[in-house]
Amino acid sequence: TPNGGYQFVSWGGQVSGTTNQIVVTMNTNKTVVPRFRVPGDDFEQRIQLGGATVTYTGLQNTGATKETGEPNHAGNPGGKSLWWTWTAPASGAATLTTAGSNFRNALAVYTGATVSNLTTVATNLAGVGTNTSAVAFAAVGGTTYHFAVDGFNGTNGSVVLNLSLP
């Protein structure tokens, strides 16, 4: 670190669609300061998805943040977003849902290279009394899409992301 301390970053790998990362920092007084880093919290650290059908489970947006320049997903200010990226293996009608999540959420699909310069493809806000957002969009083979799931007005919980491109 800039102050002369040390930092160790460990990834738990991807097993059944889950990842864990912890950052352990030792300051100059040799005090260990562990801090859990939420996978996918930042656009630049988004989680890579592959394949035509994916279910991603085991991730919570507790501790996640909203970045400077990040859009309001589905028009909601949110505040605890997680990001994934996916390159469509073929063209077709893609569907993306948060079915199985345990909190009201906003879902958005974008294209673009930076968080402050995204083009909206599709968005949806889970209705009152439901925890599922769903979108359908015409995926173009070889195009990279970015998915964001955010808690409605900053709520948090377990995220399930379901992607299908038949």
| Prediction pTM value | 0.80
63-84 pLDDT, tens digit each: 999 999 999 999 999 999 999 9
Angle at 62 between CA 59 and CA 67, to 5 degrees: 100
> What is the arithmetic mean of pLDDT over 125-152?
97
Give the model's pLDDT for residue 109.
98
N residues, the chain: 166
pLDDT of residue 17: 41
CA–chain centroid gap for 114, Å, is 14
Across the chain, mean pLDDT equals 86
| Pairing of β 92-97 and β 134-139 | antiparallel
Show the beta-strand stretches assigned E in 28-90: 32-37, 47-49, 53-60, 82-87
Q: For residues 119 and 55, what is the distance between their CA atoms, to the nearest angstrom? A: 24
Q: Report pLDDT digits (tens) over 76-109.
A: 999 999 999 999 999 999 999 999 999 999 999 9
